[in-house]
Amino acid sequence: MGKIDEVKEILSTLRIWMSLSFGALVLLIGSLVKRYDTGVVDMFFWLGIGVMLMLVLALIGIMKKISLKTKEIKDL
**What is the pLDDT at residue 55?**
97
Q: What is the pLDDT of residues 14-71, one digit of tens each?
A: 999 999 999 999 999 999 999 999 999 999 999 999 999 999 999 999 999 999 999 9
Average pLDDT over residues 1-25: 93
Q: In sequence order, what DSSP letters do the residues of 1-21 get, joined into one string?
A: --HHHHHHHHHHHHHHHHHHH
Q: In sequence order, what DSSP letters do the residues of 45-72 get, joined into one string?
A: HHHHHHHHHHHHHHHHHHHHHHHHHHHH
**What is the pLDDT at residue 62?**
97
Kindly report the length of the chain.
Answer: 76
What domain range is 34 assigned to? Answer: 3-75
**What is the pLDDT at residue 73?**
87
**What is the pLDDT at residue 2?**
83
Count structural domains, the chain: 1
